[in-house]
Amino acid sequence: MNKLISIEEAVSKVKDGMTVMVGGFLACGSPKKLIDALVESGVKDLTLICNDTAFPDQAVGKMIVNKQFKKVIVSHIGTNPETGRQMNAGETEVELVPQGTLAERIRCGGFGLGGVLTPTGIGTEAEDEKQRINVDGKIYLLETPLKADIALLHGSKVDKRGNVFYNATTRNFNPLMAMAAETVIVEAEEIVEIGEIDPNCVATPFKFVSYIIGGEK
């Protein structure tokens, strides 16, 4: 199967109302060219699952400014004042999730698990409406899995079959999200021939990748 598609084809696969996972940590490891194309497309009413909302002029932050999300599920919004403004104005729903909990909820979605038990949030507003479970006398909150219709990821080096290498901190949430979405699109910095990536360096195997774009480098 040829997984290489154009950026226009990739954008066409993101439909209004979808739940979208986007890799990255403060825009590092985010598929920036694909996000720019989505800003131009005007797709709307999306639910975003991401570590954060980046900055107003970078990565998913641009889509925040363009008001393309109806809801965001993130660990923090402090670097993008527009997210906070939209939240306070009731324009965008914001669900704040502790970073470790967010990662584990995505992992549960990818692994087919029913959720994760965590003590984080006990005794705070974070436990409102969540199930409390007693394990050996200790109380935990049940955090449910997160899955998406589509994941938009960044790969430093991707072979034509779809095996992905992430350089250094660009790895962040990308491998987890690759397992938790129905469709996975990877924006590659560099596309190489099959076999050129050391198998020990593959963080996302080809089985999880639906489409590849980019590779101009």
User: Residue 135 domain-assigned?
Assistant: no
Which residue type sits at 165? F
pLDDT range class, residue 217, cuts 50, 70, 90 = low
Whole-model pTM: value is 0.96
Is residue 101 situated within a structural domain? yes
What whole-number distance in Å separates Cα of residue 150 and Cα of residue 143? 21
Token code pair at residue 191: 């596309």
Strand partners, 135: 138
pLDDT class for 201, splitting at 50, 70, 90? Answer: very high
Please check whether residue 140 lies inside any domain of the structure: no
Q: Does residue 136 form part of some domain?
A: no
Task: Indicate which CATH number applies to the domain containing 13.
Answer: 3.40.1080.10
Give 160-215 as a 3 state SS string.
CCCCEECCHHHCCCHHHHHCCEEEEEEEEEEEECCCCCCHHHCCECHHHCCEEEEC
Q: Is 194 within the bounds of a domain?
A: yes
* DSSP-derived pairing of the beta strands 148-159 and 138-143: unpaired
* 124 is a domain residue: no
Q: State the Cα–Cα distance between residues 59 and 54, nearest whole angstrom.
A: 7
Q: What is the pLDDT of residues 17-51, one digit of tens each?
A: 999 999 999 999 999 999 999 999 999 999 999 99
**Structural domain count, the chain:** 1
Structural domain includes residue 133: no
Name the one residue in this structure whose structure tokens are 């993008």: 80
Comparing CA positions, the residue from 111, 112, 103 lying closest to residue 75 is 103
Spatial neighbors of 14 by CB under 8 A, at least 6 apart, are: 20, 38, 41, 43, 46, 150, 152
Q: Domain span at residue 112?
A: 7-117+145-214
129 in any annotated domain: no
